[in-house]
Homo-oligomer: A and B are copies of this chain.
């Protein structure tokens, strides 16, 4: 097994090297297109008007064209009568006859017999006339070189007689997915097969940056085959992205291939995720080797490929909006990389709170859910909870002001409430993170969430939630709102092949646990105690998951034999379910949030018949 090490070049230096290489001997290609098709394109040179607009003296009104001096004596007390030979009826836009020089609007006319018209006010020369060149004069520069054609500029160019525009060619980017294990999108992949979705993500990003894309068929990890495609793509297209194989492992060929066909200037960048990227050039075509992990590759796309497309298009990259937010959860870093932390953002009272999402390079949903990114410089050890951070806003569709920040215990009904808010036409959305019931108490207390979901068993009294709320929250800060009843139980494989009959049987089997601080974990530890079982007897006690469905997935996938969770998760995965107890899942609500329109909408949906219907379908809920 070979293993080579990568460089760890700071991003700025990597970009400097790459763009110096890319710009060397590079000429932008141009094409002539119809101006009517030019919106969004970049002019390759300055555009000068060929004609004036208007190009003749035009009436600015519906009315009559007159000689201004025929009207000078008109007033309310001394009206002037114009005979038919002294005026011409004109509509807006009509040419003013050569012997006339002003227009009286129709509202100011009294028509009399024999085509005579009475007027009671004078007009001066060129009044109500759009004079030649009022908007654009022939010879005026309508736009300088490299202007992006907006819709109104397109109109101005046409008005100035420019019917063809010479523009920079749109870059076409080839995307080459590689990998033995990669398969085209399917809903039934075999074990070991990875669905190829990166090319769709990158196509979408490239199109949003106004590039066209060509996606190659998936190529297996055969160096010669990949090399052939990269060579062809570099000859035919304006840039090439090779997906996966960018690191230095056994089957990683991207770097060697670019070296053999052209030049590599960077292999390994000091960013995380995104380190194992390759930057180079074949002929005059920039080539980027992207890491296989989607989040790594998205970071490289945002930090490097976006600038590359801007360079190829002769555009500038518009800075993204930033806000300052308070960090909702401590994060620590390795010192070796600039890190990109995806966060959700909510506005709690007047303060923006940024909550970090899972940081794994393979967690594509961390980008799907992200409202923003915190860029942490190399050599930072960490950021404490409560510190102010700059957040780059990455989702232009997301309305952060209307985002309900819900945290704590995971229950699928929160997602259903989010969906019903949309269906009922509310502008609000629920942004939920799963930090367990104890996490909810702390987040709501610190003003880092609008509300939380809790199901906390008091192991002394056997009652739910009340004692915790009393202990951790004061009534000025938060309000306890009763929620729903949920059936908790043991999820076991379909048909219960291990014949697990009750809680005591779990000691003989592989268990999958929930994380510390979750209500389900507290229940589990309580059940261990009441059943007299030592946690060290449990095979898998330290195997922790964050949601009910994740526990169900481990059992359905054969990683474990049993786990504690709610009925609806078991049903979703076709698992058998051994009922153990009914727990109370309640809300704790930040008092500043209570009675806001967002809160009222959330509660309206929570109490709606539509949600009850859905809960009935999911099963395992009792409605209070």
Residues of A near any B CB (own CB < 8 A): 1, 3, 35-36, 39-40, 46, 50-58, 60, 62, 89, 91-95, 98, 106-107, 109, 111, 124-126, 130-148, 150-156, 158-159, 161-163, 179, 181, 185-189, 191-192, 194-198, 200-205, 207-208, 247, 249-251, 292, 294, 298, 315-316, 318, 321, 360, 362-365, 367-368, 370, 395-397, 399, 412, 415-416, 418-419, 421-423, 427, 429, 540, 542-543, 547, 549-550, 552-554, 556-559, 569, 572-573
Contacts and interface: CB of A to CB of B under 8 A. Distances in A.
B89 A1 contact: yes
Contacts of A198: 155
Contacts of A1: 62, 89, 106, 109, 111
Contact of A292 (B93, B249, B298, B316): B93
A60 to B, nearest CB: 7
B550 A133 contact: yes
Nearest to A569: B139
B158 A195 contact: yes
Contacts of A194: 54, 58, 93
A332 to B, nearest CB: 19
B197 A158 contact: yes
Contacts of A415: 46, 140-141, 144
A155 B366 CA distance: 11
Contact of A572 (B98, B138, B197): B138
A553 B145 contact: no
A133 B51 contact: no
A181 B94 contact: yes
Contacts of A141: 412, 415-416, 418-419
11 contacts: A35-B200, A56-B191, A130-B362, A132-B554, A132-B559, A141-B412, A141-B416, A146-B422, A161-B187, A163-B186, A163-B187
A204 B315 CA distance: 18
A106 B159 contact: no
A207 B39 contact: yes
Nearest to A416: B141
B189 A55 contact: yes
A187 B132 CA distance: 15
B553 A132 contact: yes
A203 B429 contact: no
Nearest to A63: B1
A161 B197 CA distance: 10
A211 to B, nearest CB: 13
Copies of this chain assembled into the complex:
2
Contact of A543 (B125, B146, B205): B125
A179 B62 CA distance: 14
A106 B249 contact: yes
Contacts of A399: 316, 318
A250 B188 contact: no
A139 B572 contact: yes
A159 B195 contact: yes
A540 to B, nearest CB: 8
B56 A203 contact: no
A542 B124 contact: yes
Contact of A150 (B138, B316, B395): B395
A134 B362 contact: yes
A238 to B, nearest CB: 19
Contacts of A315: 397
B364 A135 contact: yes
Given A152-B368, A191-B95, A368-B142, A200 B550 contact: no
A163 B185 contact: yes
A196 B318 CA distance: 32
Contact of A151 (B204, B542, B573): B204
Contacts of A145: 419, 422-423
B197 A155 contact: yes
Given A52-B557, A553-B133, A557-B132, A158 B185 contact: yes
B294 A155 contact: yes
A9 to B, nearest CB: 19
A191 B140 CA distance: 20
A201 B549 CA distance: 50
B138 A397 contact: no
Contacts of A203: 36, 39, 151
B363 A135 contact: yes
